[in-house]
Amino acid sequence: MVFILNVTSYANDYAVTRKRKVLAPEDVFQALSIIESDNITAPLMDALGAWKTNKANKSGEAKKRKAEKKNALTQGASNTSVPFSITLSEELRLKNAEHG
């Protein structure tokens, strides 16, 4: 628990010196360097890289699904539009209703 608090405190101080209010991964890595915990930096960088790759893949898949859904909707709309036609008997019924 104390370790996390120290890392967070140093990372926050580093972010403030950079005039930022939100912590970034570089702030955490800088904090780990300050408290001499370089032995966990490499595994954390690998985990961050894997997370970013996974996030990019999910984002790409979501965009692809959204585009496919949009295409399906536009294709469906163009396929369901049937030209309006009226049968002769319906036309006669409407004319009789207008005149009667």
Query: Does 87 have pLDDT greater than 60?
Result: yes
* Residues 41-77: tens digit of each pLDDT: 999 999 999 999 999 999 888 888 888 888 887 876 6
Q: What is the CATH number of domain 1-55?
A: 1.10.20.10
- What percent of the chain clears pLDDT 70, i.e. is strictly above it? 90
Burial of 77 (0-12, 13-18, 19+ CB in 10 A): exposed
* Residues 25-37: tens digit of each pLDDT: 999 999 999 999 8
- pLDDT value for 70: 84
Domain ranges of the chain: 1-55
pLDDT band for 81, please (50, 70, 90 cuts): low
| Run of H or E residues at 22 | none
pTM of this structure = 0.56
